[in-house]
Structure 1
């Protein structure tokens, strides 16, 4: 029954609008106080201390309600109820209450707002009828407006029907102003929501385009490279059979195993292209040192320093990126600087993220850095996780530094 919903955000209104409403509220209250029985009598010998007290309290309430309009975006219900009660008790007029009601209807919707609207309507009717029945004309703002050409001492002749029409006009203006303000706020919200929806749609279109491109690349790789690797694996197996027991048998076996491993890596890559969010690393980061030793320790001279903190909390995508990056770096070192000693440093923790540094001597006659797909692949993998890659080739040494933010497992 007393529930409500916010319309938009409770942001602070424009300063110029607040100043305007405060001035209108104060001025309307002052006019109502002056054209009230207490205000009229205070200017005649019939004035009493009670009239003076009513005027003082009314002025204080008028200024307080006008000042409270500054916070109408935070406390619309409290301000409206306080103004309505004040209107019924003191001759400050209905304008401050109707301004508060308009602010309420502009920022809230639901049953609670209409209960407040009913309260304001009742107090406005009471205030206008009491004012229209006051005698003489100088003691009634309504009579002073309708009988402007008569003396303040002239008897008030405003009817109840006229007073009801005036009260209804005030209430309709207050409700209308609030609803207009609400419609504008809702239009702004709708525009923002549409803009956000268009942005999301654009991102989805981009994702769909990327997915289609990844699928196309995966299909091309499968059709071309997959076929070649399959033939190579078959030929290597045949060669191993023919050379079994000969000095070249072990080499043929190694060739077959390498072809099989290449096929496995290709399937993993195609799976990554088809389902980019699903693959998980084969091992946690805590086993990175063992993988480096098993994979490269026997064939490539390496000085490695690996420190990983809270490895089990790393996101699978991060773990896979670290493995593939280290693998690619050491493979490049073996390819472009065979026989030399590569230096590898890995530091990973939730606080500092992942830092990978690798360096090796530059061998004359070999391909320079940036050739092929090694470094671009490392860079792309790091960028997908918000990381960066920097490399240099100074003083005969090629160095690369990869930084990737830490991502916790979900």
Structure 2
């Protein structure tokens, strides 16, 4: 939303309906009163000064006719037609003015103009007719009678001669006020509604333009990042792959060196494939989308749960002892983003163990099924306190990555430093930025899972669980 736009508070639907009904009841009562006054201006409604059967029927019909005022919002043409008949019959124009008021506000422009012209003609005709009629037949003469008993059926009293001009003035004033209110206020509200609609459209277009501008900016940043990733890492990994290939050929006499070189070359090749997938995801902007389809997101690399055994074998080829217990089911029907997230979490946990606890055995326990979800745990023993001669590496973990420190943590060299970290310095550990464990938490939260990372007893453990997933068809 634009910083200059102020959201308008919408009135609840129930309150609007109750208000409309209340206004309708008030208008209904006022309309019955004014129509009854208008009936008194018709000689055919009275006999010997009393309301006759015809007048009684007319009054009863008014009670039914004014019930149409409740249709003024949805079907304003219905009270418009009935109001036009009342106006032409005996000058009762209130229902007509109410109907044309709502038509001017809501009806299409051509219909609003037609209704305004017709209503103006009928009201002017009725006004002229009442001004030319005898004063005693003018509904407004009731205000000038010394004993206004006309409505009760008593013999009508003729208004004084000096009040005839005032009666006509009031009649014309009522005509002008009624038409001015119905047409003028209706046109003003129509213009207000139109301006609100225009403002709403302009606000949506502004938001759309801001969104497009932000997306263009993000796309430019993604293009720059993807280009830099490709131009730098691709070159370096290609050089590493070539050098390890040459080392593998040159070290045929030393099987151990040749095996290590082969493993390095394979890792460099896989890293190039991961880099190509990463660059494509950065360019398209769907790298972190958990809902895109498998067909569009299948990476050319090994970042799937099916490749976890291969990942463990790659780690074991470095000399690290890995104790795996892997039970994976429904992996083909697992959402592709979740599939990749589990692989990345295991990969980061293994990398973390190799970096901060080298030469320590790593236990990997993974269970995956659609019904139970994903349960994984990667743990390694804590490094021991350095002796007087040997100086083993002391790993450093990221802030907030250690949830709880066990009671024996201090005895093994683990203690909080000034930043609240559990630290155990080493040159290798200092290469980490701590974002890996943060990424594990973010990946788990993205799919509604839970992550528990920290020192538990004698070992450092990464535990992540994801809820059951629905197999994709």
Please report the TM-score for the alignment, with normalisation by the length of structure 1.
0.72
1:80 corresponds in structure 2 to 80
Pair 15,55 (structure 1): closer, same or farther in 2 beyond 3 Å: same
CA contact (8 A) 2:449 2:464 kept: no
1:48 pairs with 2:42:
no
- 2:105 equivalent in structure 1: 106
Structure 1 Cα separation of the partners of residues 115 and 444 of structure 2: 58
Contact 2:451–2:462 (Cα < 8 Å) also in 1:
no
Task: State the shift of 1:264 in Å.
Answer: 1.4
**How far, CA to CA, are the matches of 1:181 and 1:358 in structure 2?**
64
Choose which of 334, 342, 365 in structure 1 pairs with 2:364.
Answer: 342
In the other structure, the counterpart of 1:259 is 268
Sort the Cα spacing of 1:107 and 1:35 in 2 relative to 1 into closer, same or farther, 3 A.
Answer: closer
C-alpha spacing 1:398/1:295, structure 2 compared with 1 (3 Å): closer
- What is the aligned-residue RMSD (CA, Å)? 4.6
1:231 aligns with 2:231: no
Task: Map 1:95-244 onto structure 2 (within 5 A).
Answer: 95-121=94-120, 123-125=122-124, 127-128=126-127, 131-132=130-131, 134=133, 136-141=134-139, 151-152=158-159, 170-171=178-179, 173-244=181-252
Deviation, 1:348, is 4.5
Structure 2: distance between partners of 1:108 and 1:283: 57
- Following superposition, the deviation at residue 265 of structure 1 comes to 0.9
Mark the runs of 5 or more structure 1 residues left unpaired by the alignment: 1-7
- For residues 252-331 of structure 1, the aligned pairs below 5 Å read 252-277=261-286, 280-282=296-298, 290-296=306-312, 299=316, 300-308=322-330, 311=333, 319=336, 321-331=337-347
Equivalent-residue separation in structure 2 for 1:156 and 1:309 (angstroms): 97
- Deviation per CA, 1:237-257: give whole Å up to 9, x if none: 221221235413233222212
Q: Is residue 240–residue 268 contact of structure 2 (8 Å, CA) maintained in 1?
A: yes
Distance 1:168 1:258 in 2: 91
Rg larger for: 2
CA gap 1:107/1:310 in 2 versus in 1, 3 angstroms: farther
More relative contact order, 1 or 2 (CA 8 Å, 6+ apart): 1
After TM superposition, give the deviation of residue 326 of structure 1 in Å: 1.5
- 1:373 is matched with 435
- Give the one of 386, 391, 408 matched to 2:452: 391
Q: Secondary structure at the match of 2:49?
A: coil
What per-residue deviation string (whole Å, max 9, x for no partner) do you get for residues 327-372 of structure 1?
22222333344633322233558xxxx9533212242135547463
Q: Distance in 2 between matches of 1:85 and 1:38?
A: 16
CA deviation after TM superposition for structure 1 residue 262, in Å:
0.8
Cα pair distance change 1:347/1:97, threshold 3 Å: farther
> Is the alpha carbon distance of 1:44 and 1:386 closer, same or farther for their aligned partners in structure 2, counting shifts above 3 Å?
farther
Deviation at 1:22, TM superposition (A): 5.1
Instruction: Quickly say closer, same or farther: Cα 1:310–1:223, change in 2 above 3 A.
Output: closer
Over 3 Å counting, the alpha-carbon distance change for 1:376 and 1:80 in structure 2 is: farther
Q: Verify the 8 A CA contact 1:361 1:398 in the aligned structure 2.
A: yes
Paired position in structure 1 for 2:319: none
Q: Which range is displaced more, 339-348 or 114-123?
A: 114-123
Shift of 1:304: 3.3
User: Deviation at 1:324?
Assistant: 2.6
Please, what TM-score do these two structures have when normalized by structure 2? Answer: 0.64
Match of 2:61 among 38, 45, 57: 57
How many residues matched?
381
Closer/same/farther in 2, CA of residues 301 and 86 from structure 1, 3 Å limit: farther
Q: Provide the secondary structure at the position in 2 that maps to 1:342.
A: strand
Match of 1:357 among 375, 378, 401: 375
Q: Aligned in 2, Cα 1:217/1:407: closer, same or farther, shift over 3 Å?
A: farther
CA distance in 2, matches of 1:374, 1:109: 62
Counterpart of 1:280 in 2: which secondary structure?
A: helix
Unaligned runs of 5+ in 2: 1-9, 147-156, 288-294, 317-321, 354-359, 384-394, 402-432
